[in-house]
Structure formats: structure tokens, C-alpha cells
Amino acid sequence: MSHDSSNSPRSKRLQLISDYGCTRSSKCRKPCSRSAETVSTRREAEPVRADVKGTQHLSGPGRAGLTGGPAAGRAAARAGAMAKLLSCVLGPRLYKIYRERDSERAPSSVPGTPTSVTNPHSSSWDTYYQPRALEKHADSILALASVFWSISYYSSPFAFFYLYRKGYLSLSKVVPFSHYAGTLLLLLAGVACLRGIGRWTNPQYRQFITILEATHRNHSAENKRQLANYNFDFRSWPVDFHWEEPSSRKESRGGPSRRGVALLRPEPLHRGTADTFLNRVKKLPCQITSYLVAHTLGRRMLYPGSVYLLQKALMPVLLQGQARLVEECHGRRAKLLACDGNEIDTMFVDRRGTAEPQGQKLVICCEGNAGFYEVGCVSTPLEAGYSVLGWNHPGFAGSTGVPFPQNEANAMDVVVQFAIHRLGFQPEDIILYAWSIGGFTATWAAMSYPDISAVILDASFDDLVPLALKVMPDSWRGLVTRTVRQHLNLNNAEQLCRYQGPVLLIRRTRDEIITTTVPEDIMSNRGNDLLLKFLQHRYPRVMAEEGLRVVRQWLEASSQLEEASIYSRWEVEEDWCLSVLRSYQAEHGPEFPWSVGEDMSADGRRQLALFLAQKHLNNFEATHCTPLPTQNFQMPWHL
């Protein structure tokens, strides 16, 4: 029987050693400098690559010998493959790989990144991530299960009531149901494993998960740059900024704590009532009812954008908007950790390197109750050439938590801190721009950071209570008022009056959301009340009876022609008004409230009131959700 000596174990070992430049016998145990130099040189020359199973190994011969023999090498390869498979099973969903417009993607510095994936053709970058068939179908099944779970969650009170009435909540019925539920969970776990296998066979996903793991281990600038080329489930994005990161926060005792930042608390409904134990017991049922209403129906009615089903329906639009911000505007996404533990999703577009002077100013955008920075009001200051920082409410898209006033203020606080301490903008270079319900966080930031440059409020309101009473039955008036004041108190006017800087209000003349009657009744627009409260706080003598009356007449005007008619009827002399205000400021300083108009005639107060109202409010003939044109985005007036 013939025997091939070239396949014997001895000849394999000799061949292995000779490949690394050593001609000695395999029994030699002396150190060989030549062999060591050759091995080192070849290891540096041979690239690190990943095979189709996602394992990392040297492409040259001798890998097994360097790791302790063929058996040890195979064991290490299997362990690496299993670790990579587990990462693919537990990894986040990948939505898109962004294209790079300026230059070709640099070769990846992360080990295990296939060369064919790090340098794809530009035509493939402008598309969504294409999963393999197994991953795609498994993702569809899990997404459908998630939607069913969300529907079941919202309908659970009615389902439990129905099952109780039918007698299905007995032990004999619950036990079989639990068996069915357990079987369903096992099936879904199997589907998740199949999805992981589909990802494991996809070199694009393996490259992504390798970069993600490397970024979690080392938050280097290069790793973050590579990770920014991917759009994936934001829960797996590493934290970029912590609320305690500024050194001033660590040294100051007056800053926010883990309980949250300071808010203006509402006054008690019944003043002078002794807060005895008996009164507390009497109030307990009402307080419990208010809490339940606020945390179930109320919060979702106030912030519909936090509802999972709505976010699921808007997901393609949000992904498209985010791709536009990243690819066309060169936006940078970041995750901020607020003091309450919520993670806030932000997008920053830097225009400081452009020739436009407004690029040196940062506009922080606060979205509405169903708005997202991907498709929200950030487009207006972007088109105007400003640097822009957008963020999503807690519970919206990539942000975690629920959008209660305390969580909203906590999120706004870390956004402003991020703009100052990480992005490098001074408060004097920051402008707050809010649309609709975003006025609450904008006015809170203006109150808490008085050095901020300016505040622009578009289609906002003074207080939430009148708008909440509008959509609820009259018989619920007491419950609605108590619930809003205790849990959903959006007191925009009260906060705005604590700010000393320039303010501009934009009123939508056909607004159907913040009017308490019908859109055609412009005097029911709560933006009017916001302006009146603001002017009455800053100029109480001017906004006395005569001034208040004439400003109301001016607000009733439904067109620019009617406004001009009222303005000219009272013969407002702008030069005279400016001289009066400037002389008062020079004599008494800029701090509000001012006592200007105290010794002024009624005619003079009317002129001054109309002049101030016209400088602080602009009309925009549109409905509530119409995007604000760039020409209507103007800086507020100031002396």
C-alpha cells in the first residue's frame, strides 16, 4: 500500500516551519532570530481580513502555529464566529448606509472590516441598507409582532374588562393561555435567531457591528466618524454628552440634580385653605384620578408624536429626512444623557465655516407635539443659513422617556449645555426658535439662561388650560384644570416674562389648533394672550386701559390692510416712540418691567402700545402646520 510522505504530520510541520524561513530540524528548540524576524515581517505585511463567517484570521500560512497549533486555531476561530453571530442576533436594526459626497470613504481602521465593503461604489451608497432575504422576512415578522403588542397594550383595559365579563379570567382559562403565550415567545425568539443568521451572512452588517462594538470600547474620533456613516436603531448609539460633563455643573450646587431642573410651580387652586391631614385625604381620590388621566389619555393627546404606532407609520419619512440632513447638510447626530436618565436624539448642522455671517449664530429648534427634527421646523433656519441644532422630545423617535413637562425641561437643559460646552457656542450666539408646543421648552431655556441672544415663538400659546378645556366636555372642567396644573402645566407666558432679551411672536391668522373657537375667529388665538401678557409685564404703565384697548383692536385685524388702517388712525410716530424708549433705557437701565408711560397722556400711551405690539408680533397668513417661509424668519426687534 503506497503512502504519500508529503501528507504525513512530520512533513506538514517541516513545511510549516520552512514557510517562515527556518531550515532547522523540527526537533530544534533553540530560538531562531531569522524565523522571528521573518514571522514579524510577514505579519505586518499580511492584511487583517474577515472571512464570510465573520471571523478574523491571518491570510498567510502559519496561523495555527502562531496560536498554539491547528486545534487551538480552529477553536479560536469557532469562538470568534459564535461571538460575531451572537452580536448579530442581539445587534440593532440597520436602516441605511449613508453616502459620502466630498471624498471616498477612508479605509476602515477597525479589524475585521472587509475591503470590499469599506470602499463601495458611489451608486450603492445612495440606497437603503439591503438585508438578505432571511433577515428581511424575520424583520417583517418581528415588526408585525411589535405592532400587535402596541395595539394590545393600548386596548388592554377594554380587553381585561371584556374577559372579566365573559368569565375568561379564571385559573382554568389563564393557564392554557399562558402556555400559548410562552410558545409564541419561543417562536419569536427563534425568528430573532434566524434574523441574526441572516445578518451574519451579510458583509455590510458584519462591518457595521464590528465598528459599533469598537466604538463602544473606544470612543475615539475615528470610530465615531465611521459609525456616523450608518443609520440604525438609536438605542444602541453610544452616549456623546453627559449632563454632568461640564465642570461648572460638578462645582455648582445650584445646578440640576437627578430629580430634574427647576420649574415654576403652579399656585394652589384654593388659597388660604389649611393643608391638614383631613384635607389631604379628601383630595386623594381627585389626585389619583388626575394622575391616571395625565399618564394615560392626557399625555398621548398632548404629545401624539410619542405614540409608537404613529412613529411606526412615519418611519420612512423620518429616515428620508435624516438622510437629507446628514448627506446634503452634513449634519452630525449625537446622543445626550439628561439628568433624569433619558437619552435625547439630536442633530447638529454647522455653518460656521461658510461665508454667511448668520452661520456664526446657532438656532436651537424646539418642535411641536407631533414634530420631529427630521421633518420639522429646522428647515427654516437651515435655508436661512444659520447653524442649527435640532432635538426630539423624550419618547419621540430616538429619544427615550415620556414627554412630561419635567422631562421636557431636563432634555432642553442638556441640549443647551451641549451647545455651549461641546459645540462651542456662547449663550450670546444662541437663538431659541420654537413652533407650537415647543414654546414651553424654549421659554424655559430663556428663563434659565438669560444671556441667550433671542427667542422666536411661532404659533405658540400662553397657557395650556384654555386649549385643553376646548377639546374636553364642560362637565370635566374641574378635572381637566386640576390635571393640567398638576401634571401638564405648560405655562409659556409665565416663563417668557422671566426673560429679559428680544422676543418675536409669529401668529398664524388661520390657525386651527391654538384657537379656542374656530380658525376664522382670530381673537380666540391664544397667541394674542401671549402677546398681551408679555407686554403687560414689560410695560405695565403703557399697557393700561387705553393701551390695552387699542392693542386689542389691532389684534382683531384680519389683514395687513386693516392693521395699517388702525396704525395710521392713531398717527403712530415711530421716531417719537423710539426716542422715548431709548431715553428711558439710558436713564433707568434695560431691566424689565419698565415704568415708562407713567406721566404720559392717553394718546401717547396708545401710540407707544401700538408701536410695541407691532414690533413684537408678526402675522403669517397660514394654518398651524404650514412650514414657515425663510423670509418670515426674522430676528426680534431690540433697542
Residue located via cell numbers 398717527: 571
331 Cβ contact partners less than 8 Å away, ≥ 6 residues apart: 325, 347, 348, 349
Q: Rounded distance, CA 157 to CA 154, Å?
A: 8
- The whole-number pLDDT of residue 41 equals 39
Angle of helix 545-555 versus helix 560-569 axis, rounded to 10? 150
| Other CB atoms within 10 Å distance of the CB of residue 547 | 27
What's the Rg (C-alpha) of the chain? 32
- The whole-number pLDDT of residue 55 equals 39
Q: Rounded distance, CA 603 to CA 605, Å?
A: 5
- The whole-number pLDDT of residue 172 equals 81
- The whole-number pLDDT of residue 161 equals 82
Q: Rounded distance, CA 425 to CA 439, Å?
A: 22
**What average pLDDT score do residues 587-606 get?**
94
Q: Rounded distance, CA 24 to CA 623, Å?
A: 88
Q: Are 127 and 98 in contact (CB under 8 A)?
A: no
C-alpha cell read off for 547: 393701551
Please give the helix or strand (H or E) that residue 363 lies within, else none: strand 362-366
pLDDT band at 103 (very low <50, low <70, confident <90, very high): very low
Single-letter amino acid code for the residue at 613: A
Percent of the chain with pLDDT over 90: 68
**What average pLDDT score do residues 99-108 get?**
49
Min mean pLDDT across 143-152, 197-206, 380-389 is at 143-152
Q: Rounded distance, CA 502 to CA 512, Å?
A: 27
Residue 50: DSSP 8-state: E
pLDDT band at 13 (very low <50, low <70, confident <90, very high): very low
Q: Rounded distance, CA 378 to CA 336, Å?
A: 19
Residue 22 in this model has a pLDDT that exceeds 60: no
**What average pLDDT score do residues 306-321 get?**
94
- pTM value is 0.83
Largest CA distance in the chain: 126
Please give the helix or strand (H or E) that residue 12 lies within, else none: helix 9-19
Residue located via cell numbers 462651542: 424
* Alpha-carbon 218 to chain mean position: 24
Single-letter amino acid code for the residue at 506: I
CATH no. of 232-249+278-489: 3.40.50
Angle of helix 203-217 versus helix 70-90 axis, rounded to 10? 90
Residue 476 in this model has a pLDDT that exceeds 60: yes
Half-sphere exposure of 334 (CA within 13 A, CB side): 22
Q: What are the Cα distances from residue 265, in Å, to 236, 477, 481, 485? A: 36, 21, 15, 9
- The whole-number pLDDT of residue 273 equals 54
Q: Rounded distance, CA 166 to CA 173, Å?
A: 11
Q: Rounded distance, CA 214 to CA 224, Å?
A: 9
pLDDT band at 457 (very low <50, low <70, confident <90, very high): very high
**What average pLDDT score do residues 153-179 get?**
82
- Catalytic site residues? 436, 511, 588
Q: Which residues pair with 344 in a beta bridge?
A: 336
Summarize pLDDT for 607-626 with one digit per residue, the tens: 999 999 999 999 999 999 99
Q: Rounded distance, CA 616 to CA 586, Å?
A: 21
Q: Are 56 and 111 in contact (CB under 8 A)?
A: yes
- 458-460-462-466 Cα dihedral, nearest 10 degrees: 160
Q: Are 84 and 55 in contact (CB under 8 A)?
A: yes
Least Cα distance to 490 among 600, 409, 559, 608 occurs for: 409
Helix/strand/coil for 84: helix
Q: In degrees, to the nearest 5, what angle opens at C-alpha 451 toward C-alphas 446 and 456?
A: 45
Taken in order 114, 116, 119, 122, the sign of the CA dihedral is: negative
Q: Are 338 and 243 in contact (CB under 8 A)?
A: yes
C-alpha cell read off for 313: 407609520
Average pLDDT, the chain: 85
Least Cα distance to 204 among 142, 135, 137 occurs for: 135
pLDDT band at 36 (very low <50, low <70, confident <90, very high): very low
- The whole-number pLDDT of residue 257 equals 72
- 544-547-553-554 Cα dihedral, nearest 10 degrees: -130
556 Cβ contact partners less than 8 Å away, ≥ 6 residues apart: 522, 523
Helix, strand, coil percent values for the chain (each to nearest 5): 55, 10, 35
Q: Rounded distance, CA 528 to CA 509, Å?
A: 11
**What average pLDDT score do residues 442-461 get?**
98
Peptide bond into 593 cis (omega under 30): yes
Residue 622: DSSP 8-state: S
Taken in order 322, 323, 329, 333, the sign of the CA dihedral is: positive
Least Cα distance to 80 among 232, 206, 211, 237 occurs for: 206
Q: Which residues pair with 57 in a beta bridge?
A: 49
Q: Rounded distance, CA 193 to CA 494, Å?
A: 54
Q: Rounded distance, CA 429 to CA 220, Å?
A: 29
Please give the helix or strand (H or E) that residue 225 lies within, else none: helix 221-227
- 62-64-68-70 Cα dihedral, nearest 10 degrees: -140
Q: Rounded distance, CA 562 to CA 550, Å?
A: 13
Residue located via cell numbers 408679555: 534
Residue 11 in this model has a pLDDT that exceeds 60: no
- The whole-number pLDDT of residue 40 equals 38
